[in-house]
Amino acid sequence: MKEKIKQIPEKIFNFIKYNRQFTSYVLLALMCTTLTKYLTVGDFFSWQSFFLDIAFIFIFGSFGFLYRPQKQFTYYLVMLFIFGTMGVVNTIYYTFYQSFASFSLLITLGQVGEVGDAVFDKLELFHFIYVIFPISFIYINKYLTNLDYFNLVAKFEKGKRIFIGLLASGAIIIALVSTTLTKTAISRLAKQWNREYIVSTFGIVSYQLNDLFNTLKPRIVSWFGYDVALKQFTDYIEENPSVKSNNKYTDIYKGKNVIFIHLESISTFLIDLEINNEEITPNLNKLTKEGMYFTNFYPQVGVGNSSDTEFTLNTSLMPVTNGTAFVNYFDRNFITIPKLLRDEGYYTFSMHGNKASMWNRNKMHPNLGYMDFYSETSFEIEERIGLGISDESFFRQALTILKEIEDNNDNYMGTMITLSNHTPFENNELFPQIDLTYHGFTEEEIEDTNYLEGTRLGNYLRSSHYADYAIGLFFDYIKESDYFNNTIFVLYGDHDPKLSIKEYNRYYNFDFDTNDILDVEDERYKAFDYYANELNRKTPLIIWSKEDYVKPLKVDYYMGMIDVMPTIGNMLGIHNKFAFGHDIFEIKDDNIIAFPNGNFLTNKVYYNNSKEEYRAISLEESLSEEYINYCKEYTENLIELSNGIIFHNLIDIQLKKEAEE
**10-residue averages of pLDDT along the chain (661 residues):** 57 71 91 90 80 93 83 90 90 76 65 50 71 91 81 67 88 91 80 80 89 70 74 90 92 97 97 91 98 98 91 97 88 97 98 90 96 95 87 96 97 97 78 71 52 85 94 97 97 94 88 80 88 96 94 97 98 97 97 96 94 87 92 96 94 90 72
- 123 shares its domain with 70: yes
- 352 shares its domain with 211: no
Q: Which residues contact 608 (CB under 8 A, 6 or more apart)?
A: 530, 531, 534, 599, 614
Cα–Cα nearest to 597, from 635, 565, 555: 635
Eight-state DSSP code of residue 266: -
- Please identify, among 560, 585, 610, the residue that sits at the C-terminal boundary of a domain: 585
At residue 217, the 3 state secondary structure works out as: helix
Main-chain phi, psi angles of 259, to 5 degrees? -125, 120
The answer to whether 355 and 379 have CB atoms below 8 angstroms apart is: no
- 345 shares its domain with 210: no
Find the radius of gyration of the CA atoms of the chain: 28
CA 196, CA 594: separation in Å to the nearest integer?
17
Q: What is the DSSP string of 7-27?
A: HHHHHHHHHHHH-HHHHHHHH
The verdict on residue 96 lying in a domain is yes
CA 309, CA 322: separation in Å to the nearest integer?
16
The verdict on residue 8 lying in a domain is yes
CA 370, CA 412: separation in Å to the nearest integer?
11
Main-chain phi, psi angles of 469, to 5 degrees? -60, -45
The verdict on residue 66 lying in a domain is yes
Cα–Cα nearest to 370, from 410, 327, 340, 408: 340
- 86 shares its domain with 201: yes
The verdict on residue 243 lying in a domain is no
The verdict on residue 300 lying in a domain is yes
- 212 shares its domain with 284: no
Cα–Cα nearest to 345, from 401, 402, 409, 251: 409
Main-chain phi, psi angles of 324, to 5 degrees? -135, 145
- 294 shares its domain with 160: no
CA 326, CA 196: separation in Å to the nearest integer?
24
CA 215, CA 328: separation in Å to the nearest integer?
10
The answer to whether 245 and 566 have CB atoms below 8 angstroms apart is: yes
Residue 38's domain comprises: 2-220
Query: What is the 3-state composition of the chain as percent helix, strand, coil, each rounded to the nearest 5?
Result: 55, 10, 35
Cα–Cα nearest to 29, from 84, 70, 105, 68: 84
Cα–Cα nearest to 456, from 122, 125, 88, 126: 122
- 386 shares its domain with 277: yes
The verdict on residue 620 lying in a domain is no
- 207 shares its domain with 289: no
- 56 shares its domain with 124: yes
Distance between the two ends of the chain, CA-based, in angstroms? 73
B/e letters for 8-36, b = 16+ CB within 10 Å, e = fewer, are eeeeeeeeeebbbbbebbbebbbbbbbbb
Residue 280, domain CATH: 3.40.720.10
CA 592, CA 602: separation in Å to the nearest integer?
5
Q: Per the structure, how many domains does the chain have?
A: 2
- 204 shares its domain with 278: no
CA distances from 405 to 263, 370, 549 (A): 22, 14, 21
The verdict on residue 636 lying in a domain is no
Give CA 435 to chain center in angstroms. Answer: 32
- Please identify, among 194, 220, 246, the residue that sits at the C-terminal boundary of a domain: 220
- Burial level of 318, CB count in 10 A (0-12/13-18/19+)? buried
Give me the amino acid identity at 612: E
CA distances from 414 to 239, 294, 344, 406 (A): 34, 21, 14, 11
Bridge partners (DSSP) listed for residue 292? 543, 553
pTM listed for this prediction = 0.86
- Please identify, among 562, 585, 608, the residue that sits at the C-terminal boundary of a domain: 585
Q: What is the pLDDT of residue 144?
A: 83
Give CA 489 to chain center in angstroms. Answer: 26
The verdict on residue 244 lying in a domain is no
Give me the amino acid identity at 412: Y
Angle between helix axes 456-480 and 282-290 (nearest 10 degrees) is 50
Cα–Cα nearest to 65, from 55, 78, 76: 76
- 479 shares its domain with 544: yes
Q: Which H or E element spans position 480?
A: helix 456-480
Alpha helix stretches (DSSP H) within 582-649:
584-587, 625-648
- 305 shares its domain with 213: no
The answer to whether 320 and 328 have CB atoms below 8 angstroms apart is: yes
CA 426, CA 47: separation in Å to the nearest integer?
42
Q: Which H or E element spans position 241?
A: none
